[in-house]
Structure 1
Amino acid sequence: MLRVTLENDIHKYIEDRNVRGSIPLSGDFKVSFLAQGEYNINFVVEDNQNKYVFRVNTRSQIQVDNQIKYEYDALKVLEVTGVTPEVFYLDDSKEYLPYGILIMEFLKGRPLEYDKDLRKAGKIFGGIHSLDINKIPSSNFIVESNILSDRIKEGERLLVEFLKSPIMDKELKDFFYKFLNWCYKNKDKEKYFIDNKWHVINNTEVNSHNFIIGEEHSYLIDWEKPVISDPCQDITQFLAPTTTLWKANYILSEEEKNSFYGEYTKSLKGGDRNIKERVHIYNPYLYLRALSWCAYAYLEYQNPDKDIKNMDTYSKIKEYLDMDFMKKLLREYF
Structure 2
Amino acid sequence: MVRHALIYFLRVPVLGNGKTRLRNFLTIEEIKLMSEYLVRKNFDTLSQSHADLFLYIPADNTIEALMDLLPVKEHQVFYQQESSLGDRMYQAIEEIHARGYEKIVLAGSDLYNLSDEIVEGLFEELDTQDVVITPSVDGGYGLIGMKKPLREAFSIANYSHENVTADTIQAIEAAGYSTSCIGEILDIDDREDIAKALSGDFSASFYNQGEYNANFIFDQGQKLLRVALGSQMHLDNQISYEYHALEALQPSSAVVEVYKLVEQTDLIGKGYLVEEFVQGRPLDYQLDMNIAADLLAKIHSVDPNRGSHLIEAERPFEVMFNEFMTMFQHYKDWPQRDEQVEKMISEMLENLKTYDMTAPIADPCIINTELNSGNFIINPQGRSCLIDWEKPLIGEKEQDLGHFLAPTTTLWKTDIILDFDDVFEFVSKYDRLAGGAVDKRKLIQYLQFTCLRGITWCAMAYVQNIESTKIQSDSQTFEVIQKFVSPSFLEMIQDYIDRGYNYLDK
Q: TM-score, normalised by structure 1?
A: 0.84
Counterpart residue type for residue 200 of structure 1: C
Q: Tell me the residue number matched to 1:31.
A: 205
Q: Does 1:13 align with 2:194?
A: yes
Counterpart residue type for residue 245 of structure 1: L
Contact 2:301 2:434 in 1 (8 A): yes
Quick check: 85-94 or 202-211, which moved more? 85-94
Ranges in structure 1 where 5+ consecutive residues have no aligned partner: 21-26
Ranges in structure 2 where 5+ consecutive residues have no aligned partner: 1-20, 27-187, 499-506
Contact 2:282 2:373 in 1 (8 A): yes
Contact 1:2 1:307 in 2 (8 A): no
Q: Tell me the residue number matched to 1:203.
A: 368
Counterpart residue type for residue 299 of structure 2: I
Q: Tell me the residue number matched to 1:148.
A: 317
Q: Does 1:234 align with 2:400?
A: yes
Q: Tell me the residue number matched to 1:176.
A: 345
Match of 1:188 among 356, 371, 378: 356
Q: Tell me the residue number matched to 2:273.
A: 102
**RMSD, aligned α-carbons:** 2.7
Counterpart residue type for residue 430 of structure 2: Y
Partner deviation per Cα, 1:92-139 (whole Å, 9 max, x = no partner): 4364226553332111111111111101100101001111213x1x23
Corresponding pairs, count: 316
How many Å separate the matches in 2 of 1:333 and 1:83?
A: 31
Contact 2:196 2:204 in 1 (8 A): no
Match of 1:116 among 287, 296, 314: 287
Q: Does 1:310 align with 2:491?
A: no
Cα deviation for residue 236 of structure 1 reads 0.9
Q: Does 1:62 align with 2:233?
A: yes
Partner deviation per Cα, 1:271-293 (whole Å, 9 max, x = no partner): 22x43222123221121211111
How many Å separate the matches in 2 of 1:8 and 1:248?
A: 37
Match of 1:264 among 420, 430, 446: 430
Q: Does 1:90 align with 2:264?
A: no
How many Å separate the matches in 1 of 2:236 and 2:190?
A: 24
Q: Tell me the residue number matched to 1:24.
A: none
Over the matched positions of the two proteins, sequence identity in percent amounts to 32
How many Å separate the matches in 2 of 1:126 and 1:149?
A: 26
Cα deviation for residue 304 of structure 1 reads 4.1
Q: Tell me the residue number matched to 2:308.
A: 139
Partner deviation per Cα, 1:191-245 (whole Å, 9 max, x = no partner): 4x65xx1111111111111101112221111111011111111111111111111
How many Å separate the matches in 2 of 1:251 and 1:15?
A: 42
Q: Does 1:300 align with 2:464?
A: yes
Match of 2:484 among 320, 328, 333: 320
Matched position secondary structure for 2:304: coil
Q: Does 1:165 align with 2:334?
A: yes
Cα deviation for residue 2 of structure 1 reads 5.6
Cα deviation for residue 142 of structure 1 reads 1.6
How many Å separate the matches in 2 of 1:43 and 1:148?
A: 36
Matched position secondary structure for 1:90: strand
Which 4+ residue blocks in structure 1 deviate beyond 4 angstroms? 1-8, 14-17
Contact 2:195 2:225 in 1 (8 A): no
How many Å separate the matches in 1 of 2:364 and 2:300?
A: 8
Matched position secondary structure for 1:88: strand
Please say which structure displays the higher CA radius of gyration.
2
Quick check: 231-240 or 157-166, which moved more? 157-166
Contact 1:41 1:55 in 2 (8 A): yes
Q: Does 1:281 align with 2:453?
A: no
CA 1:301–1:253 in structure 2 vs 1: closer, same or farther (change >3 Å)? same
Matched position secondary structure for 2:216: strand
CA 1:14–1:221 in structure 2 vs 1: closer, same or farther (change >3 Å)? closer
Contact 1:39 1:308 in 2 (8 A): no
Q: TM-score, normalised by structure 2?
A: 0.57
Q: Tell me the residue number matched to 2:493.
A: 329
Matched position secondary structure for 1:179: helix
How many Å separate the matches in 2 of 1:159 and 1:295?
A: 6
Matched position secondary structure for 1:206: coil
Match of 2:409 among 231, 243, 249: 243
Q: Tell me the residue number matched to 1:23.
A: none
Cα deviation for residue 15 of structure 1 reads 5.2
CA 1:155–1:107 in structure 2 vs 1: closer, same or farther (change >3 Å)? same
How many Å separate the matches in 2 of 1:247 and 1:312?
A: 9
Counterpart residue type for residue 144 of structure 1: A
Counterpart residue type for residue 257 of structure 1: V
